[in-house]
Structure 1
Amino acid sequence: MTNPYIIVDLSDRMLYLLQDHKVTRGFPIAVGAMLTQTPTGEYTIVNKSSNPGGPFGVLWMGLSRPHYGIHGTNNPSSIGHMVSHGCIRMYNEDVLVLSSLVDIGTTVIIRI
């Protein structure tokens, strides 16, 4: 069994968790606005922080690209839209589920 990994599909505005190259979970997300687009590429989760405060909802998972992460939101109506400053926003309950399924070091592939 391979380690789980994450694919963020910017076009679909969905985050997928894969295990053994099969999608096991899918979550709706918000992504970067036109002027602050979410960067594509391959990254890893480098840290997790509960209750980071501000607009980051209940959890922050930092990526290996500084200043970018996967996090909850204090504005659930933003999910499904291109509104963030480049981060990947999730519903608070979804980011908690995702965080329980992945470890620091998990690969995150962001694609169009």
Structure 2
Amino acid sequence: MKHRFLVMTAASLMGLAAAAPAQANDRYRERPPVVVSPDLSAPWVMQLGRQPGRVVNGGYAVQVQPALQRSSLRGDPQPARRAERRSLFGQDPMRTAAVPAPRKKQIAPQMDPIYLPQHVEYSGPEKPGTIVIDTASKFLYLVQPGGKARRYGVGVGQEGMVWTGTQTITRKAVWPDWRPPAEMIKRERAKGRILPVHMAGGPENPLGARALYLGSTLYRIHGTNAPWTIGTNVSSGCIRLRNEDVVDLYERVGVGTKVVVM
């Protein structure tokens, strides 16, 4: 046994002697650079902490440092400097500003879909090509052959300004000018609204894209820049349609067309 122990010891010494030169040479080798994680919350850093709170990360239990403790590692300003900033800006600059609640989108007034153009049955006495306006239901009918009619939604006169009768189209105009009657100017001035004596045709003009003049009256079938008023009693006696609809009607009728207002 003593001989075996000596042999093993000798073998061990030989192994150590062989490894010694390699270890000596390693001392002079260039070591790789030490890379420090830029993320100070990396698990190996967090394991150094002694703060309470254990989180299992990838199967290893690590100690989590509170946010306030970690913020000091990022170079938190001195308390005096933070107090000075609060006095200048009225709040702690290190705190995240409150995000304002998104504004609710304003929804533009909408026209009731029932007033969109559509083809309907017609059993009245008027001949094809005649325009029939039902002021009570706020519909304009262009009578067509075969017991049919093309129906449009309209805005009609306010209370006390609705009229009935039969006229003919005496003139047609594209983007017509607007010259409010003197009576209308006076009436609106009493309400605190000043109307222009003349307004050139265009998108801002209340007569809209087209106008069909009725006889020698001041009334017209015209468009509007306020389509949400279709289906209401809103005008001073004129019949208004959406711009899209008055353009469509304009192309379907001519001067001399009969217009029946009921």
- Partner Cα separation in structure 2 for residue 104 and residue 13 of structure 1: 23
1:17 aligned partner:
142
Q: CA deviation at 1:36?
A: 2.0
Structure 1 unaligned runs (5+)? none
Higher relative contact order (CA 8 A, sep 6+): 1
The one-character-per-residue Cα deviations of 1:32-85 (angstroms, maximum 9, x if unpaired) are: 000322x20111011011011220000010001411010000111110000000
Give the structure with higher Rg (CA).
Answer: 2
Is residue 209 of structure 2 the alignment partner of residue 58 of structure 1?
yes
Say which SS state the counterpart of residue 160 (structure 2) adopts: helix
Q: Which amino acid aligns with 1:99?
A: Y
User: Any conservation in 1 of the 2:207–2:222 contact (CA below 8 Å)?
Assistant: yes
User: Any conservation in 1 of the 2:169–2:255 contact (CA below 8 Å)?
Assistant: yes
2:169 aligned partner:
45
The 1:21–1:85 alpha-carbon spacing in structure 2 relative to 1, beyond 3 Å, is: farther
2:224 aligned partner:
73
The 1:83–1:96 alpha-carbon spacing in structure 2 relative to 1, beyond 3 Å, is: same
The runs of at least 4 aligned residues of structure 1 exceeding 6 Å deviation read none
- Considering fraction of residues, name the structure with more strand: 1
Say which SS state the counterpart of residue 55 (structure 1) adopts: coil
1:31 aligned partner:
156
Structure 2 unaligned runs (5+)? 1-126, 177-200
Aligned residues: 109
- RMSD between aligned alpha carbons? 1.4
Say which SS state the counterpart of residue 57 (structure 1) adopts: coil
After TM superposition, the score normalised by the length of structure 2 is 0.40
